[in-house]
Structure 1
Amino acid sequence: MKIATFNINGIKARLPRLKEWLAETRPAVACLQEIKSVDENFPASELEELGYHVLVHGQKAFNGVAILTDGEAGYEPPKEVQRGLGIDGPKDGEGEQARYLEVDVAKSDGAATRIVCIYLPNGNPHPGPKFDYKLAWMDRLRARMGAIWAAEVPAAVLGDFNVIPEDDDTFSVKAMVSDALMQPESRAAYARLLADGWTDALRTLNPRGGVWTYWDYQAGAWQRDHGFRIDHVLLSPELADRLLAVGVDREHRGREKASDHAPVWATLKD
């Protein structure tokens, strides 16, 4: 079972790249972030033509997440468990942002796997209300992950966490030192998730770091390989024991009109 996460940075702008990636790599489950589309405008029919079932939690112009399951491989449509964490955005009266979608995924003849797709708040500028919101959101995420843990279901939490966990997860500590992605509070909140017993799949099989998932569009970051790791796959013990391989589809970042993120995937033993 191959599960993957991909911040596509706008479904309208990146649809050709998304379809290429799905056709070439064929994940069983694909978690998308930053779709920047309301549900009714999401191009579900084009992805269904590729054989994927689609569930969307969208928002106009900003944020938004979606989960795809490979119907051609025998997977049922994702069964929604929860959307949202019940926490409002940083502005008064803004309401909740579309950043969290939790589903059960299964084949018709198999047990379900809990899949959580997240787009964690960026938190910049730091300090300020957006950073406070980031930390509050991470606290709420931890509580929900604790509830999933207590249910003892095989589970994976995938997405753009907007956290650089360690110094060797960035091309330059100096360049990122003042960014919300690398603040001690952000790192500590992420570390608490791991301390609760979740496994960082990419770090586990790449313990020396140096693996990037994001390269900014500015200052030739891609060409100079000035990247960092903020897209993560966290596994419950039931799935961590089944981890076979993990990687980054780095080549897709170099294509024309690509997202500034590369897809991250993990292969699990059935």
Structure 2
Amino acid sequence: MKIATWNVNSVRTRLAHVTAWLTASSADVLCLQETKVTDDLFPQAAFAEVGYRSYVYGQKSYNGVALLSRLPLDAVQMGFGAVLPESLVGDLDEQKRVITGVIAGIQVVNLYVPNGSSLDSDKYIYKLRWLKVLREYLQVLLAKSPSLLVCGDFNVALEDIDIHNPKGREKQVMATDAEREALSSVLELGLCDGFRKFTTEGGYFSWWDYRSGAFRRDAGWRIDHHYLTPDLYDRAISCVIDKEPRKLEQPSDHAPVIVEF
């Protein structure tokens, strides 16, 4: 089984890229982030034509997540509020960033973690609060499901080797100590990095800024992840980053990351 994650930075803009990639990759499930479209306008028909069902949780112009699956998914839920009380979730589900479903006994959690913008921004405080609630959310899911795959655009480079140039990273959003500590707290629930099972060295990235020829220079960050419970970690036989779609005309600034069991 292949499960992939990809921040497509507008599913309608990148529709031809995504459908072609699905056809070539034969992924069983593709988790999309930053779909940037309301549910009624999501291009479900185009994905149905290449053999995929769509499960969507979107909003206009910003954010948005979706699950594309060859087989029907069970127990599909959207948002933190599906399992957590309103008193804990607050306003966090106003931005559409969380969707989950079950396939072949695996609960797939697809996330689009807030970027945080800058250290002096309210969005940075929002990101840290979001990650704290994510921990509570996953703790509830783990109590019910022993096989959990948590993937998506985490907007956090957890280690210095995940950044092409980590100098000064402690003052740069996506790599501050507070963000790393918040994500590490989530992983302490018992989740392991699928990519690092197979690749321990640096120089592998999943996101390259559109500016300054970052992709041409391979000046990237690894911020798109698959985190697995121990049973899935043991079952994983590969986890790779596919850079080919980033080479296309008008690409997403992210590349797909695929884990196979």
Report how far residue 89 of structure 1 moved. 5.2
- Alignment of 1:78 with 2:69, yes or no, is no
Distance 2:157 2:107 in 1: 25
Count matched residues. 254
Local SS of the residue matching 1:153:
coil
Equivalence for 2:157 = 164
Distance 2:231 2:77 in 1: 21
Distance 1:175 1:36, change over 3 A: farther
Local SS of the residue matching 1:182:
coil
Paired residue for 1:233, among 226, 239, 254?
Answer: 226
- Alignment of 1:183 with 2:176, yes or no, is yes
Distance 1:167 1:51 in 2: 39
Paired residue for 2:97, among 90, 94, 99?
Answer: 99
CA RMSD of aligned residues (A): 1.5
Local SS of the residue matching 1:54:
strand
Local SS of the residue matching 1:12:
coil
- Alignment of 1:206 with 2:199, yes or no, is yes
Equivalence for 2:84 = none
Report matched runs for 1:135-174 at 5 Å: 135-174=128-167
Distance 2:234 2:101 in 1: 21
Tell me the percent identity.
39
Local SS of the residue matching 1:214:
coil
Contact 2:163 2:222 in 1 (8 A): yes
Contact 1:125 1:180 in 2 (8 A): yes
Report how far residue 178 of structure 1 moved. 2.5
Local SS of the residue matching 2:237:
strand
Report how far residue 200 of structure 1 moved. 0.6
Distance 1:145 1:210 in 2: 30
Local SS of the residue matching 1:247:
strand
Report matched runs for 1:44-59 at 5 Å: 44-59=44-59
Equivalence for 1:60 = 60
1:57-78 residue CA offsets vs partner (Å, 9 max, x unmatched):
01110000000111xxxx2x22
With normalisation by structure 1, the TM-score equals 0.90
Equivalence for 1:264 = 257
Q: Relative to structure 2, which stretch is displaced further, 149-158 or 234-243?
A: 149-158
Local SS of the residue matching 2:155:
coil
Q: Relative to structure 2, which stretch is displaced further, 138-147 or 79-88?
A: 79-88
Contact 2:107 2:145 in 1 (8 A): no
Report how far residue 7 of structure 1 moved. 0.3
1:113-136 residue CA offsets vs partner (Å, 9 max, x unmatched):
101000000011212311111011
Distance 1:88 1:225 in 2: 39
Structure 1 residue runs of 4 or more that deviate by more than 3 Å after TM superposition: 86-90
Contact 1:68 1:78 in 2 (8 A): no
Distance 1:41 1:8 in 2: 16
Report how far residue 152 of structure 1 moved. 3.7
Query: Could you tell me which amino acid in structure 2 is paired with residue 104 of structure 1?
Result: V
Unpaired segments ≥5 residues, structure 1: 107-111
Distance 2:7 2:135 in 1: 21
Contact 1:89 1:133 in 2 (8 A): no
Unpaired segments ≥5 residues, structure 2: 82-88
Distance 1:6 1:83 in 2: 18
Local SS of the residue matching 2:15:
helix
Distance 2:144 2:185 in 1: 19
Report how far residue 201 of structure 1 moved. 0.5
Report how far residue 88 of structure 1 moved. 5.0
Distance 1:210 1:145 in 2: 30
Local SS of the residue matching 2:251:
coil
